[in-house]
Chains A and B, each alone.
Chain A
Amino acid sequence: METQADISREIAELRGSGGPQPRLDYPPYRSSVLRHPTKDLTLVDPEGVELWAPCFSSRDVAADEADLTIQRAGEPLGERMVVTGRVVDGQGRPVRRQLVEIWQANASGRYWHQRDQHPAPLDPNFVGAGRCLTDDNGVYRFQTIKPGPYPWRNHLNAWRPAHIHFSLFGTDFTQRLVTQMYFPGDPLFDLDPIYQSITDQKARDLLLATYDHELTTPEYSLGYRWDIVLGGTHRTPTEEEGQP
């Protein structure tokens, strides 16, 4: 099996080679080798349904789904934290009343998932999935615990930096985004071929939350802020006002 040194060499060779989005063709992430398109993406103007995003409503998401610490009978283990931020489009406009979904490992770095065989303990009080709708200012907020880093089998001694998976919708279909939020100062960043598949440092930095003491609750929970900018909208103001 390849070592971290082998993977780190490949990561170094590809650093800065891509744009602000991850490289689809990124061999250091071994599972990508047979799963990336080899032909260029075809540029097209969005049409019809692509100019709109699906709607979600309070019917879809209960308010308590944003608290990942109350889903089971007891308190989960780990460092209790809040993560909150604004979702805006490329013009800085808030993405209102839109769905945000998250999933994550527990404090020991173990997922509530059959496929995760990492011999770290499952926490009977932490499942690790949540949903919310943004408010009228585009703000989302989750109460959770800080996930742990965990090993995977990309290469020998491969470890993922701690992260929370985020799924986001905008006001247009074309703004759909699934990504991962990371914590500042993680020593695993340089070693991780998933994080490094975004080869541009400034773009990678956009996935870092910042610690915010204003969000920290005395004697209860630490606070992190992570604002998310989606792409611009392709709709004209007229289209936005009326129904299609």
Chain B
Amino acid sequence: MTHAPGQTVGPFFHLGLPYEGDNELVPPGRPDAIRLHGRVLDGNGDGVPDAVIEVWQADPAGAVPQVGGSIRRDGWTFTGWGRAQTDPDGHYWFTTLEPPVFFAITVFARGLTDRLFTRAYVPSGHLDTLLERLPPERRATLITTREQRGLRFDIRLQGEGETVFLTFPGQAA
């Protein structure tokens, strides 16, 4: 095995990762903009104030963007990628567009030795191969809740309602 192992982002990632507009995949005023947001919670149910969430998604038509511009956004190009840090309550938010099926999510935090992958599904009632395999209570952790202006997705790192985290073929756990 030669794949480089991961390490925690630690407490000082604010120095290197956040940038202006990182969590605004589209400008907040845009009529079709939604908010994808939620809290990152630890095993005590407390908010994790030093986590980073990344989102990677298709556009509303299902096309996967393959254009630059996520760091210096021009307000017009939808790049499909964004990054958000949690606030002191463990809350994160993105301004984005709604994809047809799911948002691919990556979670980093101080105290988390490696990144975690998960999916935030748009609520639809349809069960794909992953959702179908999961027992209902585990499945529910991957499905966002629809709100008036967007979707809510809480991420529980541990304990009751622990989010389903994913691994992909070829990734040794």
Contacts and interface: CB of A to CB of B under 8 A. Distances in A.
Interface of A: 19-24, 26, 29, 31-50, 52-61, 90, 99, 101-103, 105, 111-113, 115-116, 127-131, 165, 167, 173-174, 176-180, 194-195, 197-198, 202-204, 206-207, 228-232, 234, 243-244
Interface string B100-141: 011010101111111111000000000011100110000000
Contact of B166 (A42, A115, A198): A42
Interface of B: 1-17, 42-44, 46, 48, 54, 56-58, 62-72, 79-81, 99, 101-102, 104, 106, 108-117, 128-130, 133-134, 157-159, 162-173
Tell me the dominant secondary structure on chain B's binding face: loop
Given A35-B48, A35-B157, A55-B66, A206 B16 contact: no
Contact of B79 (A19, A44, A54): A54
Tell me the dominant secondary structure on chain A's binding face: loop
B115 A176 contact: yes
B68 A56 contact: yes
Contacts, number: 249
Contacts of A53: 56
A1 B43 CA distance: 22
A35 B42 contact: yes
A34 B115 contact: no
Nearest to A111: B12
A36 B62 CA distance: 32
Contact of A194 (B17, B113, B164, B165): B113
